[in-house]
Amino acid sequence: MRALVIDDSRAMRRIVSGILEGLGYETRQAGHGREGLDVLETGWVPDLACVDWNMPVMDGLQFVSAVRSNPALRSMTIMMVTSESEHTQIVRALAAGAHEYVIKPFTADAIRDKLALLGLLPQEAVL
């Protein structure tokens, strides 16, 4: 399974990619929403996109809106990554088409549990 990790923080990208690779994902990274769209436009369509909320150039909400208007990307599950101070805005991203969210700081288990619920674990997970 494939995942696209979009975050303007390289450290956060590494952490999230690390967690997903540990679960069996093949990952790619992007520094903001526009770069994320560029990756998708190459034809590499992931099963999952983990998207930061606050990014320059194109933020998480704008990315979600752009993706949801593209029928070719409807099968991609979008999980927002939000900080405590932004978290009450998360419903806006969900309404725009995101499927799930996780609040920083999060554990690898929190991500795994949400992916298990969504049926997005590459192998049988023992919960």
Partner 1 sequence: MTTIDTGERRRGADTRPVITELIDEATVEAIAQEAWISLVGEDEVLVPLPGEPVADPLSSWVDVVGPWTGSVVLTTGRRTAEELTRALLREHSPEVLEDEDVADAFGEIANVVGGNVKAALPGSSGLSLPDVGDAPALRNPEDVCRVDLLWRGETVSISVQGALPPLPAH
In angstroms, what is the minimal distance from the CB of 54 to partner 1?
16
- Please give the size of the binding site for partner 1, defined by CB under 8 A: 26
Determine the interface stretch with partner 1 among 2-10, 25-33, 40-48, 99-107 (rule: CB under 8 A): 99-107
User: Are residues 45 and 72 in contact, defined by beta-carbon separation less than 8 angstroms?
Assistant: yes
CB of 64 to partner 1, least distance (A): 13
- Tell me if residue 29 falls in helix, strand or coil: strand
Query: Cα 52 to the chain's mean position, in Å?
Result: 7
Is 86 within 8 Å of 65 (Cβ atoms)? no
2 binds partner 1 (CB under 8 A): no
Binding of partner 1 by 73 (CB under 8 A): no
